[in-house]
Structures are given as structure tokens and as C-alpha cells.
């Protein structure tokens, strides 16, 4: 193991968690945008 690996903690779970969060934001935003476009 290199020294760099020691410094960088394993944050895969964090990456997936924020990934879920970001996806949620994108999906809800586009749903709202669709509703806006659909209405007059």
C-alpha cells in the first residue's frame, strides 16, 4: 500500500449516498419541469 492510500479513506459508501441524493434532485427537478412545460 502506498502512503497515498493511507491518507485517502475508503469512502465508497459516501460516494453512493451522495450519488443517490444527486439523482433524487435531478429526477424531481425534471418531473417539475415536465409539469411546467405540459401546462399552459
Partner 1 sequence: MHMHKYEKWWLTFGVGSLVLFLVIVGFSAFHYGSHPPSDKVYIDPERVDEIAPFNNPGVHKVEGKDWDYEAVIVASAFYYNPPEIEVPVGSKVKFIVTTKDVVHGFQAAGTNINMIVEPGYVSSYVTTVDKVGEYLILCNEYCGIGHSSMMSMLKVVE
Partner 2 sequence: MTTIKERAQDFVQVDKRDAKLALAHIYVAFIALLLGGLAGLLQTLVRSGQFTLPWGIGYYQVLTVHGVLLGLILTTYFIFGFQIAAVSRTSGTLTNKQRTLGWIGFWTMTIGTTAAAIMVLLNEASVLYTFYAPLQAHWIFYVGLALVVVGSWIGGAGQIGKYIEWRKANPGQPSPLLTFMVVVNLAMWIVCSLGVAVEVVFQLIPWSLGWVDTVNVLLSRTLFWYFGHPLVYFWLLPAYMVWYVVIPKVIGGKIFSDSLARLSFMLFLLFSIPVGFHHQLTEPGISSFWKFLQVVLTLMVVIPSLLTAFSLFASFEIRGRALGGKGLFGWVKQLPWKDARFLVPFIGMVAFIPGGAGGIINASHQMNQLIHNTIWVTGHFHLTVATTVVLTFFGAAYWLIPHLTGRVLTKQMNRLAIIQAIVWTVGMAIMSGSMHIIGLFGAPRRSDFSTYGGSEQAASWIPYQIAQAVGGTILFIGIILVLYIVANLIWFAPKGQTEFPVGEVSENAEKTPMALENWKIWLTICIALILFAYSVPVIEIIRDAPPGSKGYKLW
Q: Which residues in this chain contact partner 1 in the complex, by CB under 8 A?
A: 8-9, 11-12, 14-15, 18-19, 22, 25-26, 29, 33, 36, 39-40
Q: What is the residue whose three cell numbers read 418531473?
A: 31
For residue 23, give Cα distances in angstroms to 1, 2, 19, 26, 35. 33, 33, 6, 5, 18
Min dist. Cβ of residue 1 to partner 2 (A): 15
**Cα separation of 32 and 9, whole Å?**
37
Min dist. Cβ of residue 2 to partner 2 (A): 15
Residue 3 contact, options partner 2, partner 1, none, Cβ 5-8 Å cut-off depending on partner type? none
Amino acid at each position: 500500500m502506498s502512503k497515498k492510500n493511507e491518507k485517502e479513506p475508503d469512502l465508497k459508501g459516501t460516494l453512493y449516498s451522495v450519488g443517490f441524493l444527486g439523482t433524487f434532485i435531478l429526477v424531481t427537478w425534471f418531473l417539475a419541469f415536465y409539469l411546467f412545460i405540459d401546462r399552459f
